[in-house]
Chains A and B, each alone.
Chain A
Amino acid sequence: MGDERVLRIEGLCARVGEAEILHGVDLEVRPGEVHAVMGPNGSGKSTLSHVLMGRPGYEVTGGSVTLDGVDLLALPTWQRARAGLFLALQHPTEVPGVSLESVVAEATRQSGEEPGESTHDVHDVLVREASRIGFDKRFLARPLNVDLSGGEKKRNETLMLGALGRSYAVLDEIDSGLDVDALAAVSRRIQEATDEDGLGVLAITHFSRLLDVLEPDRVHVLAAGRIQAVGGPELAERLEAEGYAGVLAEAGASVGLPAGVTHPGDDGHDAGFGEDPFADPLA
């Protein structure tokens, strides 16, 4: 069990303030796999990403998350990252006075190592990563995300993903705000990470264009705080063409109400879909 390489989310329930947002999310991502998560605005996609990373203000009320057997929810945020999780934020935070380069240097510094000991290596890695996504290396020394366009922030996120070399990445709308060329470069970089380094990806997106390059193994539809439907890449195309209503109706979900729903039983993994141990207490 401890040796099994998988990011496993089981029955995850979470609350933001007074509001219960996630009502039992089940997902499994294995190395090299790409899982897309799609869903209407407000369905809980960003909440899921924040809960996985332990953002303050998000309270887990049930379920579990393990990363290669490690109980992720027991760790503080920075240890979750070092255990192998990366989160690209939908809205990357502006950090005045702090450069991307200094963040990556601190993020990779081992305990006991003096500051600056490996800055040379970090710089080289970042320059290489910047060129891989066609990003100007002057962004490395600028205050992180301050006064950057949405697309530049997303490329910063991609750059750090490449440089930090984590095992699993949750990408929250990494494709939003990117122009066509940048989107191509960013998607290609992520695709290469899955191929070369066996990165497992959980990509939250509204667009199939990202998925054209990433070729998801599974597409999950999140609505009302639960995975309501699962399918192959064709599901993403159908959602983009038709919207969510049809797919969710077929799945028996009523959007906006976390009512008990029929889970799609067969998703290729034996993650326990079909049974709901965290049935909504209000249902």
Chain B
Amino acid sequence: MARPDTDEEVWRYSRIGELDLDRYAPLKRQRATQTVVQRDLSAFGEMSAVVVIRNGWIVEATASSDAVDAGLYAGPVGDAPDGESLLGAAVDVPVDLFGHLNRAFGPEPLAVVVPDGVRLGAPVVVVVLTDGDGAAVFPRVLVRVGADASADVVELHTSTKVDALVAPVLEATVGRDGHLRHALVQELGPRVWQLGHQAFQVEKSGRLEAFAAGLGGDYARTRTDCRLVGRGADGRLAAAYYGEDDQTLDFRTFQDHAAPDTTSTLLFKGALDGESRSVYTGLIRVRPEAVRTVAHQTNRNVKLSSDAWAESVPNLEIETDDVVCSHASTVSPVDEDQRFFLESRGVPTVAAERLLLEGFFEDVAAASPHPAVAAMLRDALADRLDRRDALADGASGSAGEGAA
């Protein structure tokens, strides 16, 4: 497998040339430690299962007895019912070098299996932690939501302040009339490189709602494939991202319509501060058999500093008639008219921008599968806006409003 290169379209605008793979090495089997789960999961309330993956290795997997009784399996794929069939269910051939590395070097994948007809009342929460300095980490999660089944699966990707490479893969299939609500909250540390791939495949009349928050990492790239392979399948993708300092956040999305009467919507929204950069490239592909497709794609970026940079590249590839497709993309500073309107009411400039940014992300937050995930996004946003306010106070010598 050749090393990726920015001459290739899918790697255009990426920082792949800076990556020195030789600096990282996979780690041996990991154990759970007391300090592994630093994140407080209490906001989720009741959970169907909690899994901890440390440096790629499953170190803990606990399901509630209710969920187990209902038929949920959450654990190593080797012990999963019909586990073999999960491998490659949504990705037959890895899409890039990092997918290949994940298969070659990844420890045993996690399987989450929700059998036909089972509707989980509480989320499955997967903590994907990286805390090995110099580690090359290859987590792989396989999700199957059966026919008429429904589940919420939340992945929390975090790290300590290590220098590491993480290449996670998610393969998720949604059966006939099934419903998967998936969330990925990425809060990696500032020195981590992430190159991830999520692949969703939705069968007849199945529904997918996928939410992502891209917050951390030095360079964090996520490729998302949503393949609608059965008649009437529906995929809804929403993401929020926020870049600070010299972070690069890179998203590649594929809304792939391969059956008639399929529908997809995509809403990706980002704010870029400091010298951060974002890349969004999205493709809506409508295959010849996918008549009466309805597909929409929206990417909006707010530049919070003149040194920030956002690239947005929407694409359509339509191979049949009788479709409704749209795409919209914007890169702009905070809306001057909106800010003026709030200021005209007496809202200080900094507070006005804050309200507008919170408002900007509100529709994406509302699309998250669980209130705890929405709260995480809002908290992360508040932290970033606090840092931004502190910088503004420092820079302006605090004219007018003092720092609280």
A residues whose Cβ falls under 8 Å from a Cβ of B: 53, 55-56, 76-79, 81-82, 86-87, 89, 92-98, 102-104, 106-109, 111-114, 143, 160, 164
B362 touching A92 by the CB < 8 A rule?
A: no
B359 touching A98 by the CB < 8 A rule?
A: yes
> Please, which residue of chain A has its CB at the minimum distance from the CB of B402?
A111
Q: Which of B340-397 contact A (CB under 8 A)?
A: 340-349, 351-352, 355-356, 358-363
By a CB distance below 8 angstroms, the chain B residues around A111 are: 400-402, 404
CB of B330 within 8 A of chain A?
Answer: no
How far, in angstroms, from A53 to B343 measured CA to CA in the complex?
9
Give which listed residue, B341, B355, B362, contacts A106 with CB less than 8 A. B355
9 closest pairs, A vs B, by CB?
A97-B359, A97-B362, A81-B346, A98-B359, A93-B341, A107-B346, A77-B343, A78-B343, A107-B345
Most A CB atoms within 10 A — which of B359, B363, B400? B359
**What are some 28 contacts across the A-B interface (CB < 8 A)?**
A55-B340, A76-B343, A77-B340, A78-B343, A78-B344, A78-B352, A79-B400, A81-B344, A81-B345, A93-B337, A93-B341, A95-B341, A95-B342, A95-B356, A96-B363, A97-B356, A98-B355, A103-B345, A103-B355, A106-B352, A106-B355, A107-B345, A107-B346, A108-B346, A111-B401, A143-B359, A143-B362, A164-B346
B349 touching A78 by the CB < 8 A rule?
A: yes
By a CB distance below 8 angstroms, the chain A residues around B349 are: 76, 78
Give which listed residue, A55, A102, A108, contacts B355 with CB less than 8 A. A102
Shortest CB–CB separation between residue B190 and chain A, in angstroms?
27
Count of B interface residues, CB-CB < 8 Å: 27
Contacts A78-B352, A79-B400, A95-B338 given; indicate if A107 touches B359 (C-beta within 8 A). no
CB of B18 within 8 A of chain A?
Answer: no
A97 touching B345 by the CB < 8 A rule?
A: no
Contacts between chains A and B (CB distance < 8 A), count: 90
A104 touching B360 by the CB < 8 A rule?
A: no
B347 touching A103 by the CB < 8 A rule?
A: yes
B360 touching A96 by the CB < 8 A rule?
A: yes
A95 touching B404 by the CB < 8 A rule?
A: no
Shortest CB–CB separation between residue B320 and chain A, in angstroms?
33
> Please, which residue of chain B has its CB at the minimum distance from the CB of A77?
B343
B348 touching A112 by the CB < 8 A rule?
A: no
By a CB distance below 8 angstroms, the chain A residues around B363 are: 96-97
CB of B336 within 8 A of chain A?
Answer: yes
How far, in angstroms, from A92 to B337 measured CA to CA in the complex?
10
> Please, which residue of chain A has its CB at the minimum distance from the CB of B399?
A76
By a CB distance below 8 angstroms, the chain B residues around A92 are: 341
A106 touching B342 by the CB < 8 A rule?
A: yes
Shortest CB–CB separation between residue B211 and chain A, in angstroms?
17
Contacts A96-B359, A103-B355 given; indicate if A89 touches B341 (C-beta within 8 A). yes
Shortest CB–CB separation between residue B374 and chain A, in angstroms?
13
Query: Given contacts A56-B340, A107-B346, could you give 10 more A-B pairs where the C-beta distance is less than 8 Å?
Result: A78-B343, A95-B338, A95-B342, A95-B356, A96-B359, A96-B360, A97-B359, A97-B360, A103-B347, A164-B345
Shortest CB–CB separation between residue B135 and chain A, in angstroms?
39
Contacts A93-B337, A111-B401 given; indicate if A78 touches B346 (C-beta within 8 A). yes
B347 touching A78 by the CB < 8 A rule?
A: yes
By a CB distance below 8 angstroms, the chain A residues around B337 are: 93
Contacts A97-B363, A112-B402 given; indicate if A160 touches B345 (C-beta within 8 A). yes
> Please, which residue of chain A has its CB at the minimum distance from the CB of B357?
A97
By a CB distance below 8 angstroms, the chain B residues around A94 are: 338
Shortest CB–CB separation between residue A116 and chain B, in angstroms?
12
B351 touching A106 by the CB < 8 A rule?
A: yes
> Please, which residue of chain B has its CB at the minimum distance from the CB of A146?
B359
A82 touching B346 by the CB < 8 A rule?
A: yes
> Please, which residue of chain A has its CB at the minimum distance from the CB of B404?
A112
How far, in angstroms, from A48 to B351 measured CA to CA in the complex?
26
Give which listed residue, A56, A77, A87, A98, contacts B356 with CB less than 8 A. A98
B359 touching A104 by the CB < 8 A rule?
A: no
Contacts A95-B338, A103-B342 given; indicate if A78 touches B348 (C-beta within 8 A). yes
By a CB distance below 8 angstroms, the chain A residues around B351 are: 106, 109
By a CB distance below 8 angstroms, the chain B residues around A104 are: 345
Shortest CB–CB separation between residue B88 and chain A, in angstroms?
40
By a CB distance below 8 angstroms, the chain B residues around A114 are: 404
A87 touching B344 by the CB < 8 A rule?
A: yes
By a CB distance below 8 angstroms, the chain B residues around A98 are: 342, 355-356, 358-359, 362
By a CB distance below 8 angstroms, the chain B residues around A113 are: 404
